[in-house]
Amino acid sequence: MKAIFSEKGRIQYQMDVEAALARAHASVGAISESDAAEIGRVASLAVVDVSRIKEIEKETNHDLMAMVKAMTEKCSGDAGKYIHLGATSNDIVDTASALQIKAALQIVQNDLDALLFTFAKLAKRERDTLQMGRTHAQFAIPITFGFKIAGYMAELFRHRERLFEIMPRICAGKMAGAVGTGAALGKNFSRIQISVMMDLGLTYEPAATQVVGRDRYTELVCLLANIATSLERYGTEVRNLQRSEIAEVSEPFDAAKQVGSSTMAQKRNPINSENVTGLARILRGFVIPTFENQVLWHERDLSNSSAERFTIPHVFVILDEMLVKMDKVFSGLEVHSDRMLANIESARGLIMAEPVMMRLTEKGVGRQDAHEILREASMRAVKDGIDLREALLERKDVMSVLSEEELSAVMDPANYVGGSRDIVDKMVGNAEESLGKKV
């Protein structure tokens, strides 16, 4: 990812655009095929030295023109006269940025696919592992750990769909000259622009100013921030479940060598999940300047340029790091199923109030009456420090409807996870179909 947005990477992508422009001119007869081929030959860092570009830039104070001059120096014959013909700087810069973004989005897609596969394996493995469901950080009703991961999978599927959907809009360049009219490209302007973008595998801005519309970048950065926030959600759950009081999962930890604390030798901290949390906050910080970069004066000004040299590379590099790190966490996640069961048992039956209520309604008790019965019994169990089952056994309005054996079956957490297992199976199946491989 860093290579894509490195100085050498940027310059090579810009030279690729210059070469495509030359080929487009040749295709309409504006220059010869041999001149276009010569421009294509020099459009390489194997031919043009970065140090020479920098040397020229010290004189011109213009990085793009420094590259054009350095390319021209390397051309044989008259080919150098046709480099950058009819273009403005941002034709090259924005189109090269589209190429960078396209390559970077491919890495993001690969990262998402890797994490999705990891989630699918984990969900399948923990399909039947009972866990406490929690709302408001309080015990709710049982779930399976596989079901929790299946929810993460569904979210990643949506992000993948969003990524595929935006690519044609985001991976767009322009070859339309100083203010977007294409005047310098002459009568073949439209053909040249389409030819360049087809050559490079990009879409194009249909009604540009001097730049590609920055609403495209806003959509991009918002998507990457959205993905980052999902990763923070997963990392936050690991951090919470690894709390000593809960202790249901643990990040992978090399017990032979890894150190958790410089003074507390017993510590095993969820450092990767915490790292992801911090990086998500940084990434979201780039959303506001990206929105502000949409507002340019007239056909454009330069206020966006310095900001974008930070925002675009950083959001990609940070997200790449976050995705790889989350995959590392969940690939080696330690799931403590015994602790999950112990936490369920510590609820002393209170989490089974809902299934008892539902069974009473099946037996003819009104829903509101059943709710009040369970509310009273639950409050009594909490007050007296007894199991909910014990409190229910003492109530005639319950035991006149349910047998003791039926009550025990209804209050078995394993019998009340609804469609959790089916949801896991469906999400794993979707992952196998989307990724083209078995879990």
Task: Confirm whether 431 is domain-assigned.
Answer: no
Inform me whether the pLDDT recorded for 335 exceeds 90.
Answer: yes
Q: Which of 63, 85, 107 is the last residue of a domain?
A: 85
What is the Cα–Cα distance from 253 to 265, expressed in whole angstroms?
Answer: 13
Same domain? For 313 and 376 the reply is: no
- Is pLDDT above 80 for 266? no
Shared domain check, 332 and 204: yes
Residue 268 confidence class, pLDDT cut points 50, 70, 90: confident
- Percent of the chain residues past pLDDT 90, beyond the cut: 96
Q: Assess whether 72 and 156 both reside in one domain.
A: no
Name the residue with tokens 């909490």. 382
pLDDT at 420 over 90: yes
Q: Kind and range of the H or E element at 139?
A: strand 138-144
Indicate whether 427 belongs to any domain: no
Query: Is the model's pLDDT at 255 over the cut of 70?
Result: no
* CA–CA dist 19, 39 (Å, integer): 6
Report pLDDT digits (tens) over 98-125: 999 999 999 999 999 999 999 999 999 9
- CA atoms of 315 and 223, how far apart (whole Å): 10
Indicate if 274 and 390 belong to the same structural domain. no
39: its two tokens: 């421009």
Q: Among all residues, which ones are annotated catalytic?
A: 136, 261
Q: Which of 85, 116, 139 lies at the terminal end of a domain, its last residue?
A: 85
pLDDT band at 257 (very low <50, low <70, confident <90, very high): confident
Residue with tokens 């469906």: 426
Average pLDDT over residues 15-22: 98
Domain end among 294, 316, 342: 342
Closest CA relative to residue 182, chosen from 203, 213, 208: 208
State the pLDDT at residue 269: 87
Same domain flag for 17 and 119: no
* pLDDT at residue 262 in the model: 66
CA 438 to the chain's CA centroid? 23
Are residues 171 and 294 located together in one domain of the fold? Answer: yes
Could you tell me if residue 317 is left (phi over 0), alpha (psi between -120 and 50 degrees) or otherwise beta? Answer: alpha
Per-residue pLDDT, 222: 98
From the CA atom positions of the chain, what is the Rg in Å?
30
Tally the domains of the chain: 3
Which residues have a Cβ under 8 Å from the Cβ of 417 and sit 6 or more positions away?
A: 130, 142, 143, 144, 147
38 plus 178 within the same structural domain: no
Phi, psi (deg, nearest 5) at residue 84? 70, 20
Question: Helix axis angle, 7-27 relative to 50-60, nearest 10°?
Answer: 80
Q: pTM of the prediction?
A: 0.94
- Average pLDDT of 4-32? 98
Q: Judge whether 243 lies within some domain.
A: yes
Instruction: Name the average pLDDT for the chain.
Output: 96
First to last CA, the chain: 27
Model confidence pLDDT, tens digit, residues 275-325:
999 999 999 999 999 999 999 999 999 999 999 999 999 999 999 999 999
34 shares its domain with 104? no
Give pLDDT, residue 214. 96
> What is the domain range of residue 75?
7-85
- At 335, the amino acid letter reads V
Q: How many Cβ atoms are within 10 Å of 52's Cβ, its own excluded?
A: 16
Model pLDDT, residue 256: 67
Say whether both 81 and 96 belong to one domain.
no
Q: Does residue 420 lie within any of the structural domains?
A: no
Residue 315 burial (10 A CB sphere; 0-12, 13-18, 19+): buried
Residue range 402-417: mean pLDDT, rounded: 95
Q: Which residues of 137-155 are buried (b: 16+ CB within 10 A; e: fewer)?
A: eebebbbbbbbbbbbbbeb
Q: Which tens digit of pLDDT belongs to each residue from 350-399?
A: 999 999 999 999 999 999 999 999 999 999 999 999 999 999 999 999 99
Q: Which amino acid, 333? A: L
Q: Is residue 433 part of a domain?
A: no
For the chain, helix, strand, coil in percent to 5 are 65, 5, 30
Cβ(238)–Cβ(251) under 8 Å? yes
Q: What is the mean pLDDT of residues 75-99?
A: 97
